[in-house]
Structure 1
Amino acid sequence: MRDLLPPEKLASLLASFTPPLDPTDPDWTDLCSALETYDQAEPLGVNLDQARSQVDAAATILHRGASTPTRHERQRRGRARDRAGGVHEHQAV
């Protein structure tokens, strides 16, 4: 899969995601490896259901990592909420 695009085009494509993905991120490389194994499952004699499960697991991990705000992002959102006069959930009575 990683051979389909030149590295700079892949990096540009992944950077266009929200949030952007890093082509060197271990979660991304795990998904690529799982997809390559799935693509080669039959010739390699790998169980197709197991290969599919590995792809599902890797995609889930990548999605959760990309959709979970970083500590920095949570702090930035908290500061913006404070400036807007919002009440933090743990402060509500």
Structure 2
Amino acid sequence: MIVEIITYKNILNKLGELVQNSPFKMEHIIRETGIKPATFYRKMKASSFTPDEALEIAKIISPKEAYLFELKESIRSAKEDYKAGRLTKHHDVIEEIKRELL
């Protein structure tokens, strides 16, 4: 557990640099996170983003990585559903879509 905490601290310490070097404007990142600008800059300077805030920032500055992660998680979840027998028949899915669209 100590290794994970140290790794997280190192990530927080580098997050400000990653944000500044990202191809996105700072205003965009701040707006997307929903953190007030003064608070964002203070947290960036102090490396004090919460884990949820750091994750949100990472998703913003690395959208391809975020998309691939979400896709892999979705596939993993689908495999677990399949193994557990949580399935829906094709016909039932089509009928549900028809009800929603019509």
Q: TM-score, normalised by structure 1?
A: 0.32
Point out the structure with the larger helix share. Answer: 2
Give the structure, 1 or 2, with the largest relative contact order (CA under 8 Å, sep 6 or more): 2
Q: TM-score, normalised by structure 2?
A: 0.30
